[in-house]
Amino acid sequence: MTKSRPSQQDSAAARVRNDERSLRRGLTLAAAFREFLRHPSPWLIGLTLLAALIGRVLVGDWQSTDALVPAAILAVFPIFEWIVHVTVLHWRPRQLGPIPIDSELARKHRAHHVDPRDIPLIFIPTRTLSVLVVVLIALAAFAFPRLGLGLTFLLTITTLGLGYEWTHYLIHTDYKPKGSLYRAVWRNHRHHHYKNEHYWFTVTTSGTADRLFGTHPDPADTESSPTARRLHAS
């Protein structure tokens, strides 16, 4: 019998596995960054950030509120991150009659829990991110009393978004934490994936919103979950 040719999807999966194996062998920060740039999400967020920065400089009209907006966003970002992780990413699929209620973000996140080392699954899905970027641009243009303030908002949120993607990606590589701050963030998110998926929901910080909402237990006193890799499984 003639052996069937591998599908394009199988070939792509094989390339991903080879890339991951090479990354695991003595991964440096520079090598991790090169791999990071191979994915669409950092480029989409980064180009939006660059456009927001250029627009903000050209518009001018700097006022005191341009400092208040980033401060407010930074203060609430860990809470926002926690809420999105709990309510959107860990959404349990539902049916509304014959209609399934299950977002792309939730589906991809379940797949991410199944294989936390699958690099493409680490990033925000391109289709969802594209819609989100359009929404953010619309908010910047129409939801603020002046364009300059809207661009300050867009610049801040894309900077945080890029930081989120980089941090989340790096945690799931074999790059070894060096600084104590990153080590705490790394440990916090790894507990979520490999210890118990019901706790440690923040990604870019450790012990912030999780402490506020009671999802930052002592790992030594926390039972390992049998469904950390299979969300919502019985």
Residue range 137-165: average pLDDT?
A: 97
Q: E strands, 109-203, where?
A: none
**What's the length of the chain?**
234
Residue 197, pLDDT score: 97
Percent of the chain scoring above 70 in pLDDT:
89
Alpha-carbon distance of 29 to 63, in angstroms, equals 38
Q: Are 52 and 155 in contact (CB under 8 A)?
A: yes
Least confident of 20-29, 37-46, 130-139: 20-29
Residue range 29-44: average pLDDT?
A: 96
Residue 207, pLDDT score: 87
In this predicted model, what pLDDT tens digit does every residue of 6-31 receive, in sequence order? Answer: 565 565 556 555 555 554 557 899 99
Residue range 179-206: average pLDDT?
A: 96
Which of the four pLDDT bands, split at 50, 70 and 90, describes residue 226? very high
Alpha-carbon distance of 212 to 82, in angstroms, equals 10
Nearest Cα residue to 85 out of 184, 224, 203, 188: 203
Least confident of 1-10, 23-32, 170-179, 207-216: 1-10
Residue 97, pLDDT score: 87
In this predicted model, what pLDDT tens digit does every residue of 48-102 receive, in sequence order? Answer: 999 999 999 999 999 999 999 999 999 999 999 999 999 999 999 999 988 999 9
Q: Report whether pLDDT(209) > 60.
A: yes
The identity of residue 16, as a single letter, is V
The backbone torsions φ and ψ at residue 181, rounded to the nearest 5 degrees and listed phi first, read -65, -50
Q: Are 108 and 89 in contact (CB under 8 A)?
A: no
Q: Is 152 helix (H, G, I), strand (E, B) or coil?
A: helix
Buried b (16+ CB within 10 A) or exposed e, 161-184: bbebbbbbbbbbbebeeeeeebee
Percent of the chain scoring above 90 in pLDDT:
83
DSSP conformation class of 101? E
Residue 177, pLDDT score: 86
Q: Report whether pLDDT(117) > 90.
A: yes
Which of the four pLDDT bands, split at 50, 70 and 90, describes residue 1? very low
Q: Report whether pLDDT(155) > 90.
A: yes
Alpha-carbon distance of 30 to 7, in angstroms, equals 32
Q: Are 81 and 199 in contact (CB under 8 A)?
A: no
Which residues, 6 or more positions from 129, have their beta carbon under 8 angstroms from its beta carbon?
40, 41, 44, 45
